[in-house]
Amino acid sequence: MVPVENCRRSVIAADLVPYDSPNVRKKLPVHVWERFVVMKRRVRNSGFTLVEVLIVVVIMAILAATIIPQFSDSTKDAKAATTKFNLHTLRSQIELYKTHHDGALPSATLVELTQSTNAAGTAGTGAAFPYGPYMRELPANPFTNSTTITVVENDPAEAGDVTEGGGWLYNEETGGVWVDHADYVTE
């Protein structure tokens, strides 16, 4: 049997020499040698190499570069779809108002679409005002979050009518309504 002091010195010396060196193995008892080899293997195999970490980082960067632009495009697409839906709703409610009021159109503010009215277009409540409200509130322009109405003379609205800060463009002579946004004014 090797004294404990010698084993310790051998283990310390073994750190300086490769662990599979025959000289180190001869100096250590079997149980110490096995524990030493197992510890070296654990230390050697625990963790990732720099190359592995870099590969994972590059893959994540590529995925992020392909996915993030899709999210920004989807936001714009959602706003465009909401705009088309709101335009369709406004136009259909203006037509319904026109039908109920013998061809008369709502005023420049479109406030009549949110109130109960009689056949003459007078706002009020009760059984004498059977028409409307056609909407709870005017929808907001998704691009500007504005519900303001800008009266225009052109039908259809033109690029020069766009203010970029308002909600909707409305022609009170024809009942035409358009979104106050340069890219969608022709919708």
Domain boundaries, the chain: 4-45, 86-179
**pTM of the predicted model over 0.85:** no
Closest by alpha carbon to 168, among 113, 121, 99, 117?
113
Query: 94: which 2 tokens?
Result: 């203006």
Q: What is the pLDDT of residues 142-187, one digit of tens each?
A: 988 999 998 988 888 888 888 878 889 999 899 999 998 888 777 7
Sequence-distant (≥ 6) Cβ neighbours of residue 96 within 8 angstroms: 134
Q: What are phi and psi of 77, to 5 degrees?
A: -65, -40
pLDDT value at residue 62: 93
Q: What is the pLDDT of residues 132-149, one digit of tens each?
A: 899 999 999 998 899 999
Q: What are phi and psi of 149, to 5 degrees?
A: -110, 130
**Residue 76 near residue 70, CB atoms below 8 Å:** no
Q: What is the pLDDT of residues 71-105, one digit of tens each?
A: 777 888 888 899 999 999 999 999 999 999 999 99
Q: What is the pLDDT of residues 19-72, one digit of tens each?
A: 555 665 566 677 776 776 666 555 555 688 999 999 999 999 999 888 887 777
Residue that the structure tokens 């519900």 belong to: 147
**Residue 165 near residue 152, CB atoms below 8 Å:** no
DSSP letter (8 states) at residue 165: S
Taking the C-alpha atoms of residue 175 and residue 138, their distance in angstroms, rounded to an integer, is 15
